[in-house]
Structure 1
Amino acid sequence: MKHKTLKLSVLSIALTSLLTACGGGGGSDGGSTTPPANVQGRAIDGPLSGATVTFNDCNNAQTTTDASGNFTFPTGCSKSLVTITGGIDTATDLPFTGELKAPRSEGAQNKIVVSPITTLIQANVAAGASPAQAAQQVAAALNLTGVDLLSADPMTNQALYAKTVAVQELVEQIQTAVAGLGGSTSQADLTTKAFTALQAALTSSSAPNSGALTSAATISAALSATVDAVKNDLPQATQDKLANVKENLSALTSSVIANNVTKIETAITSVPAATFNNGTDSIKTATQSAIVSTKESVATQQIIEALAPVLTSAPASVAESLKEISVAVASNNSSSASTISTALDQIQTNVGTGVINVADIKDTVTKANDFYADYLKLEGFSIQSTSYTPTALNASLATPINVSSINNLLVGVSGVGKYNTTGITPITTGAALKIAVDTKEITIIADKLNLEFTAGTLTKAVIPSGAKVDVKSTLNTVASTNFTVDAEKNVLSGNKIALNTTTLSSLSPSLASQLTTFSLKDKTAALTAVISATPVFAITKADNTATLASKYTVGTVDGSGISAKFKVTQ
């Protein structure tokens, strides 16, 4: 009996320690030895379906949201910090490529919401506030005083939902603007830094406290703080003139950013209360078109690309003209072209033709609200000779596609505009593929992939000699490795990039052999393919219009790509 009692005591101590580490019993629950049962969560930008929920303080346990964005906290994890990634925003049918967080719970809450606003709150917590203090400060800044931002469901509170989607749009616009400076910060890191900067701009003692995410002071402060946060990753010429760049970037983009965020808020707040109260489907019908068109705007990106050379100039020479351009692009009315032309001429007069050539960029800036004329188009995935469009792949993030195998994966790429001609210089890219199953994943990264096009069709795809391939794996059956390619390897199959056993065998027979032992039967695999290159990458939507391809970070590769989920049946 003594040994049995001793074993039970040891087991009891071990369980208690585990629960404490996971945010369960003991002091983390205010003295309770039993964590609250059935704590529910919901992931909202719009409701995020098929998103991965990670309980950071609970050994990084994971679950997946349902079609409405709902999830259940694992036993013992009720107090954990929560992170949301992936999935699809069911209010827009767009992939969610950001990262949302909700702080550790302080009380006995049985409902936790994870949203762009709770991500602001977590950024405030990381800066030293308690969750309650942080929530109060963010609520005051957004004119949402009296709303419990950690548990209130945005889909049942119109004002809260408008601010929720507007915050996410503002963060994405900040990311776009700062990424346009050409730094090496990954999209994932840039997301975190943009949320931190926006939180500080909204809750500082000098904040306008008007609840307006569109104020010039808020946008300028958030942009400047984000630039400061990534300054060491920026080109040296930008670092040397950082103060100029921050002021000029704000002048060039603030009105365009404010206009996009205003459109989002207006689209949601103008929905009749009766329509909003009918639920998510009704809200989607009323707002999807306006929100999607705003999220797909390329104006911020285009004007930064065109005018990047003048951002290091003294603000006294260019800032006012940049501001006029921003207002004109945001207004996009009959007088915009004339205003832009005059402002560009003034900039060229002040900085000289050696910095910009107005004739080269006038058309781009004037038509900044139009989509690019020249781009590479990601056609989607082909598996086992069946092709899936980007629209179908987006939908699979919520409802996985059944396939017999994910072998013979091909990625289609074609050229549009100047890439739909002959004699185009070969394009060198980095490329990566990630396969994630449950909490296990493998990433295969090639630092060089050379692509050639003839009349828009991909006619050559090779990994050149000397390219480095890096394999990272958390699978027991596949070892992490890296190697240098000893001779050029052809990875073209039917005018598509082949990511199959033939390609892997040519690169590394041992790696291909290891992967054949990795069984996916009855498993759902999330696949993300990313290409990193200078050209713009786009996808074609169901209505046959083009939009920018989603941005993903896979290992060390940060670029444009496609993500999808497949249920393997054999």
Structure 2
Amino acid sequence: MFNQTFKLTTLAIATSLLAACGGGGGGGSSEAPFAPKTISGTAVDFYVAGADVDFTNPACQEAYPDLKTDENGKFTFNTTENCQETGFIITGGIDTVTKLPFDGQLKVKEINYQANSTNEIVASPLTTLQAELPDAEFKAILTNLGFANDKNGQGITDITTFDPITEGSNQQKAAVFILQQILTQLENAGLTTTEAAKSVQTTIATTPLLTGSGVDSAVITTIFNNAATSSPSLQAEIQANQTKVENVTTTINTSLTTAGSSTLEQYLAGNPTIVSEIQEQVTPALYNNFEIAGYNITSIINSDNTQRLAINKTSIDSLAQVKFNLNKAATGTDSIKLGFQATAAIGQNGQPETLTAYISEVNVSFDNTTAINKIIIPAGTIIEIETTLANAPKGSFEVAEDTEFLGDSIALTDLVAAFPILSQPYNNYKNLIVSSNQVNAEVSVFVAPTTYPVSATLGLNLGTFGLPNKAATVFSGFTSTGYFVIQ
């Protein structure tokens, strides 16, 4: 009796354990395995290219440490078991319409993307306000911000999936751009993002931002006055930046009335003089001249495969040399990313050989001048040179200490001289060209400044630079290609 009872009890326990573990009959667990989900994101001021996308979830940040927006302001990532819920902070990059360096930040509140029904996320000044304000306060101001409905009159139910560029009216696009200017300029004056958002909320709670003719300049004035009242020690800085936003608002409103049937971004893209005016209203100076290999940017842009610019072999080092000038004297510094890519075809039907160089940071200073008066490669800068030449090593170097260079232009040959580890791939490439009778070369330069904008009137395009299989080197910058014949 005891043995039978013991056996039955043991069997019952074993059966219950198998059931709890999903065992028995090999049925396995009823819980479905984790399936990653691809999330597509967009950064909007207008679209922001080459911006850093940082996650508030450390596991996501560890999985995607170098995530950036592409030349259209887009990015993607996959959820993981440890990266399902996260918020975002997006910084840096270049506004694709105004060509202004993006020196503000876009925030998105934490969302569980694995459980969410959508696969999309849009980071905009609207989501920044949403992330910084209590939910009730944010919802209360959406109508006065001008975002109760999209351009088709449909109600906007989720601001984190609303893309003002594709779904918004011209007035809504103007409101988004001006909102970001308000937040950025208040932060530049010394306010925190939360304080800047609160200044917007306090005013917009009772007064609509948009009127029939565009953004209400009087509302801009009130927002800045409220901010100055709340932070009297920053009053001078706030008032100075207030003027910038008021001037930009006037220009944007004029563009709204003259754009006709064009979208606002199309109209501005077709009117570089207006964009340059916006740039000048926000920043103290612009880069209005570039030289590559001693040629001005107009000559570079006008060159092509049938109209090549002549370079003597004795001046071969100038191919990887770039010079910047401001439109007016300024006192300040700028941090610039640089990329060079030269492709040389030796002889009539020669095999093209490529030299690519990346410099993660170049600091240039202006001392009440229009020309660079100091160039420093700071400690921690990554410099890389790669070439397609057989048996040529790749040069990779992290600068150990601040290194200063003389002159008003940045030349790859100067870096090679300062850091010998870079010399062999560069010299191998240079010697190949010098030893040949005639060489056709195309040289592309990529420049991404962070303080002074590149004048829209130069007509430079935005492009993406990056070394293969090295995500950290990827950036969006202004680019142009010069076509040269080397004799």
- Within the candidate set 147, 152, 162, 1:152 is matched to 162
Alpha-carbon distance, 1:530 to partner:
6.6
Instruction: Give the whole-Å Cα distance in 2 for the aligned partners of 1:49 and 1:250.
Output: 24
For 1:548, the equivalent position in structure 2 comes to: none
Which digits, 9 at most, give the CA deviation of each residue in 1:68-112, with x for residues without a partner?
54332233255332344455555x363552443322224503111
Is 1:478 equivalent to 2:397 in the alignment? yes
Question: What secondary structure does 2:129 align onto?
Answer: helix
Please, which of 85, 90, 94 is the counterpart of residue 79 of structure 1? Answer: 85
Deviation, 1:503, is 5.8
Unaligned runs of 5+ in 2: 1-30, 149-154, 302-315, 341-357, 385-395, 430-443, 461-475, 482-487
* Residues 184-206 of structure 1 deviation map (CA, whole Å, 9 limit, x = unaligned): xxxxx629958645521332388
Q: Tell me the distance in 2 between the aligned counterparts of 1:251 and 1:45.
A: 19
Which amino acid letter does the alignment assign opposite residue 155 of structure 1? I
Unaligned runs of 5+ in 1: 1-30, 179-188, 232-238, 276-281, 306-374, 393-403, 420-426, 545-561
- Residue 442 of structure 1 corresponds to 360
Native 8 Å contact 1:103 1:121 kept in 2: yes
Deviations 1:10-57 (A, max 9, x none): xxxxxxxxxxxxxxxxxxxxx997366222222333344555544453
- Percent identical across equivalent pairs? 16
1:10-159 matches, within 5 Å, as 34=34, 37-49=37-49, 51-57=51-57, 58-59=60-61, 61=64, 62-66=66-70, 68-76=72-80, 77=83, 79-85=85-91, 89-90=95-96, 92=97, 94-98=99-103, 99-106=105-112, 108=116, 109-124=118-133, 129=134, 136-145=139-148, 146-147=155-156, 148-159=158-169
Give the helix-richer structure, 1 or 2: 1
Q: 2:227 aligns with which of 222, 225, 249?
A: 225
1:167 paired to 2:176 = yes
Q: Deviations over 1:376-410 (max 9, x none)?
A: 8541252x667646997xxxxxxxxxxx9998332
Contact 1:54 / 1:82 at 8 angstroms: preserved in 2? yes
Q: Structure 2 counterpart of 1:73, which letter?
A: F
* Counterpart-to-counterpart distance in 2, 1:390 and 1:142: 46
2:448 is the counterpart of 1:528: yes
Q: TM-score normalised to the size of structure 1?
A: 0.47
Give distance in 2, aligned partners of 1:541 and 1:222. 31
User: CA deviation digits over 1:184-240, x for unaligned, max 9?
Assistant: xxxxx62995864552133238832424452635533346537967x8xxxxxxx5x
Q: Does structure 2 conserve the Cα–Cα contact (< 8 Å) formed by 1:82 and 1:103?
A: yes
Query: Of 236, 260, 274, which residue of structure 2 is paired with 1:293?
Result: 274
Aligned partners of 1:267 and 1:287 also within 8 Å: no
Q: Structure 1, residues 405-460: CA drift from partner, whole Å, max 9, x if none? A: 998332132777xx8xxxxxxx87645443589xx9733436x666978xxxx6xx
**Residues 200 and 222 in structure 1, CA contact (< 8 A), matched pair in contact too:** no
Deviation digits for residues 259-297 of structure 1 (CA, Å, limit 9, x no counterpart): 3454466567x74xxx7xxxxxx6644564579727724
Q: CA deviation at 1:565?
A: 5.7
Give distance in 1, aligned partners of 2:258 and 2:337: 36
The verdict on how the C-alpha distance between 1:59 and 1:542 changes in structure 2, with shifts beyond 3 A counting, is closer
- Output the CA distance in 2 between the equivalents of 1:391 and 1:193: 43
Which one has the bigger strand percentage? 2
Rounded Cα–Cα distance in structure 2 between residues aligned with 1:205 and 1:414: 37
CA contact (8 A) 2:54 2:89 kept: yes
Q: Give the match's secondary structure for 2:165.
A: helix
1:149 Cα shift? 1.0
**Is 1:55–1:82's contact at 8 Å kept on the other side of the alignment?**
yes
Partner amino acid, structure 2, of 1:490? L
- Taking structure 1 as reference, are residues 33 and 119 closer, same or farther at Cα in structure 2, changes over 3 Å only? farther
Superposed, 1:397-476 pairs within 5 Å as 408-413=320-325, 430=333, 432-435=335-338, 442-445=360-363, 463=374, 470-473=378-381
* Cα RMSD after superposing both structures: 5.4
Which of 248, 255, 259 is residue 250 of structure 2 equivalent to?
259
Amino acid paired to 2:448: T
Q: C-alpha displacement at 1:142, in angstroms?
A: 1.3
Distance of 2:86 and 2:93 partners within structure 1: 21
1:500 to 412, 417, 421: 412
Cα distance change, pair 214–135 in 1 and its aligned pair in 2 (3 A): same
What amino acid is aligned across from residue 38 of structure 1 in structure 2? T
Residues 74, 452 of structure 1: alpha-carbon distance in 2 compared, 3 angstrom cutoff: same
Q: Is the 8 A contact 1:154 1:164 kept in 2?
A: yes
Q: Which amino acid aligns with 2:218?
A: A
Distance in 2 (CA, whole Å) between partners of 1:121 and 1:391 is 45
> Structure 1 residues 110, 379: closer, same or farther in 2, change over 3 A?
same
Inter-partner Cα distance in structure 1 for 2:98 and 2:238: 36
Task: Tell me which residue corresponds to 2:464.
Answer: none
3-state secondary structure, aligned to 1:208: coil
| Paired amino acid for 1:110 | N
Task: Work out whether residues 174 and 222 of structure 1, in 8 Å CA contact, stay in contact via their aligned partners in 2.
Answer: no
Query: What is the aligned length?
Result: 357
Q: Is the 8 A contact 1:256 1:300 kept in 2?
A: yes
Distance 2:249 2:265 in 1: 23
Equivalent residue for 1:199?
197
Written as runs of structure 1 = structure 2, the 5 A alignment for 1:283-432 is: 284-286=265-267, 288=269, 293=274, 296-297=277-278, 378-382=288-292, 388=297, 408-413=320-325, 430=333, 432=335
Q: For residues 500 and 263 of structure 1, what CA distance do their matches in structure 2 show?
A: 44
Counterpart code for 1:199: A
Matched residues in 1 for 2:425 and 2:189: separation?
33
SS of 1:445's partner is strand
Structure 1 counterpart of 2:85, which letter? K
User: Partner amino acid for 1:216?
Assistant: A
- Partners of 2:322 and 2:106 in 1: CA distance: 31
CA distance, structure 2, for counterparts of residue 163 and residue 204 of structure 1: 20
Q: Residues 219 and 386 from structure 1, CA distance in 2 versus in 1: closer, same or farther, beyond 3 angstroms?
A: same
CA contact 2:228–2:239 (8 Å) conserved in 1: no
Residues 35 and 296 from structure 1, CA distance in 2 versus in 1: closer, same or farther, beyond 3 angstroms? farther
- The residue aligned with 1:360 is none
The letter of the residue matching 2:176 is V
The CA deviation at 1:150 is 0.8
Which of the pair has more CA radius of gyration?
2
Partner of 1:541: 457
Q: 1:223 to 1:87 in 2, by over 3 A?
A: same
- Of structures 1 and 2, the one scoring higher in RCO (CA 8 A, sep 6+) is 2
- The 1-side partners of 2:222 and 2:67 are apart by 37
TM-score by length of 2: 0.54
CA contact (8 A) 1:48 1:68 kept: yes
Q: How far apart, in 1, do the equivalents of 2:300 and 2:206 lie?
A: 41
